Chains A and B, each alone.
Chain A
């Protein structure tokens, strides 16, 4: 693994694995979850932590000056994005104001 730029190699690998996951049957996904004792169909299943339920730090924390105290965000906490900012209207879209 030396001829390819690492960032390109990783993206190629991710794309290939993504295709694999998109092609996997529901049964295969369920069985893989079951192998680690998870049943995504159960209410509150840990399999859907970060998806159907999340924990997040309040937005103020994200702007804290002390970066060293910040956890590794959603990768470790499953945090969702903070408050969404107003999106700029698309070209030609009617304005609400």
Chain B
């Protein structure tokens, strides 16, 4: 009886299905240069997945994260002395995302297939920007809010906080609107944080 030859070699399966596997990533370079710790990388992975929620599906969170690291490593983005590296890299991701949408709005989307081609002029730290109205961005936002809702669907207090943050309310306003104590608010924010980390680390579902 003739044995069938496997279609894919298990030893190098990424290549066999047309993927390239690499361990030489900008993020690894940053870790080796001691710019960040392993915990920082986990934190940034979760943040990258958050930011990618506001982008079209063809722009992946990993692309966004690696591009931000690449810019810091190649010196095109310098970390200010008074800003923690992790916060700065998060700001670079946000700036790349905003620049992507600005270019898309100008009808130049066909030119921004590679994030490396997007030039940013400043990296904002911690400040949300007011995005210009854009039908595609709006549709993505509605879809992503539904997905975020599914994450916290069985936690009513978490949903109240998420809704309050969406509206731009302060913690005090959220507590007042939902008759929530400061202790409840803090413990719910902690639950939200942990749920985000868990969701951010899970491998994508098919």
Contacts and interface: CB of A to CB of B under 8 A. Distances in A.
Interface of A: 1, 3-22, 24, 26, 28-33, 35-36, 38, 40-41, 46-58, 61-63, 70, 72-85, 87-88, 90
Interface in B74-115: 74, 76, 84, 86-87, 90, 94, 113-115
A28 B41 CA distance: 14
Contacts of A21: 43, 46-47, 50, 193, 196-197
Contacts of A76: 60, 204, 206
Give chain B's interface residue range (CB within 8 Å of chain A). Answer: 35 or more
Nearest to B57: A72
Nearest to A73: B60
Interface of B: 14, 18-23, 25, 27-28, 31, 37-39, 41-47, 49-54, 57-67, 70, 74, 76, 84, 86-87, 90, 94, 113-117, 119, 126-131, 133-134, 137-138, 140-142, 144-145, 148, 162-163, 165-168, 189-190, 192-194, 196-198, 201-204, 206
Contact of A48 (B18, B38, B58, B193): B38
Given A10-B141, A74-B64, 18 more contacts: A3-B167, A7-B131, A10-B166, A11-B54, A11-B130, A14-B128, A19-B126, A20-B196, A21-B197, A33-B197, A40-B38, A40-B42, A52-B23, A52-B31, A75-B61, A78-B62, A81-B67, A83-B116
